[in-house]
């Protein structure tokens, strides 16, 4: 199931972003007319409207594509995915609470994307197999992810959003926690607009600010920082897939990172009721579970065990390099332990007896 999910995800995401790149990145009419980007002072309202349509279309393709992906993967592996998530997925289209909050979330989201395009902060160049494209899309996506993890989640999310004696930010964040064990990809979009700013856009804003400072200082004049639109859509994909009902979902577009960090599993545990999290003694506040990189901490095996207990599943992550390293190290130590010493002593005794017999 794990490698089938990975194969499906990589092929599916490649197809989605390749289609977007063909539509936006290549030198076609739509790029010339809509994604120049638009200049507020000189361009017409019609051009701004076209840019809005483009942004909404790109966001819709990614968001709806991930929902379709969730349906496909969860129903293909419905005998393995948590039953509560399958049931939620069956009734997601009739959930009026979900529809209300998703609609409310789309307004500031579309506003941000459109303004970013108009102000030339967001851009889309053709994605090629070269270093420039790799840096502008993949490297800057990971930079935004790290900035969001350290600034937004490690501090704002952990100490403010979940500081239950610190309203109103914590009250706004509780909208996102409306869905608990039944969390799936569509419910990830249930967010208060203020919460959306602090948790989704902080990484992008911080990277833009750092690029502004560095580039302006380097060139000696004010430079408008830019972020590739695809890099931000990558981060949006990560945010949504963190809530997927399939814990094998591709999160970081990097097999090594997805092997080491079981982020979907940890974030789904973050969505269980607070009482259970306190009982387990873990909050799982950050999207990147850094403790999973330490095979000797025991937190990785603990999280897998708790996930299977809470959701009634039987997922296995023992075939990844981190677990294999831990198991091989443990096995090596065991071989050098008391049992091995006893064997050596026994062999020594047999050799001594053999010498006595020869004498």
- Tokens encoding 167: 């309203």
> In this predicted structure, what is the pLDDT of residue 43?
52
Report CA dihedral (40, 122, 241, 74) to the nearest 10 degrees: 70
21: DSSP letter: I
The neighbour count for residue 91, using CB atoms within 10 Å, is 10
Predicted local confidence at residue 237, as pLDDT:
92
pLDDT value of residue 325: 55
Q: What is the pLDDT of residue 234?
A: 92
Q: What is the pLDDT of residue 235?
A: 92
What is the radius of gyration, based on Cα positions, of the chain? 25
Q: Consecutive 10-residue runs of the chain (359 residues): their mean pLDDT?
A: 90 86 61 45 58 72 86 90 92 84 78 77 83 92 92 70 57 83 91 82 90 93 90 91 94 92 93 88 84 87 92 82 53 46 47 43
pLDDT of residue 355: 39
Backbone angles phi, psi at 63, to 5 degrees: -65, -50
pTM of the model: 0.81
Query: How confident is the model at residue 326, as a pLDDT?
Result: 53
Residue 9: per-residue pLDDT? 92
Residues recorded for the chain = 359
pLDDT for the residue 60: 76
CA quadruple 306, 148, 204, 57: dihedral, nearest 10: 10
């Amino acid at each position: 199931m794990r490698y089938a999910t990975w194969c499906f995800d990589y092929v599916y995401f490649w197809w989605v972003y390749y289609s977007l790149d063909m539509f936006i990145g290549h030198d076609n009419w739509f790029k010339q007319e809509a994604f120049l980007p638009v200049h507020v002072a000189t361009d017409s309202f019609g051009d701004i409207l076209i840019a809005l349509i483009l942004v909404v279309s790109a966001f819709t393709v990614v968001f709806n594509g991930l929902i379709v992906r969730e349906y496909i993967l969860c129903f293909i592996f419905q005998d393995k995915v948590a039953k509560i998530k399958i049931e939620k997925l069956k009734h997601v289209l009739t959930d009026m609470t979900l529809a209300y909050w998703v609609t409310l979330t789309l307004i500031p989201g579309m506003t941000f994307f459109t303004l970013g395009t108009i102000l030339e902060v967001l851009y889309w160049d053709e994605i090629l197999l070269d270093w420039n494209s790799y840096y502008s899309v993949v490297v800057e996506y990971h930079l935004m992810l790290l900035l969001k993890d350290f600034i937004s989640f490690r501090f704002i999310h952990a100490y403010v959003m979940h500081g239950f004696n610190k309203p109103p930010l914590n009250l706004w964040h509780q909208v996102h926690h409306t869905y608990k064990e039944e969390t799936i990809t569509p419910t990830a979009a249930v967010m208060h607009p203020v919460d959306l700013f602090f948790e989704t856009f902080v990484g992008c804003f911080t990277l833009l600010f750092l690029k502004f400072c560095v580039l302006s200082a380097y060139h000696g004049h004010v430079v408008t920082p830019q972020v590739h639109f695809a890099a931000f859509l990558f981060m949006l994909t990560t945010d949504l897939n963190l809530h997927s009902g399939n814990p094998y979902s591709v999160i970081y577009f990097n097999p090594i990172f997805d092997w080491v960090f079981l982020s979907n599993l940890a974030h789904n545990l973050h969505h269980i009721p607070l009482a259970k999290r306190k009982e387990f003694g873990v909050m799982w506040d950050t999207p990147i579970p850094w403790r999973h990189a330490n095979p000797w901490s025991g937190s990785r095996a603990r999280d897998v065990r708790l996930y299977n207990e809470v959701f009634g599943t039987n997922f296995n992550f023992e075939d990844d390099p981190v677990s294999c390293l831990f198991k091989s190290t443990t096995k090596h130590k065991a071989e050098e332990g008391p049992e091995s010493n006893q064997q050596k002593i026994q062999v020594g005794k047999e050799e001594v007896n053999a010498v006595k017999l020869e004498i």
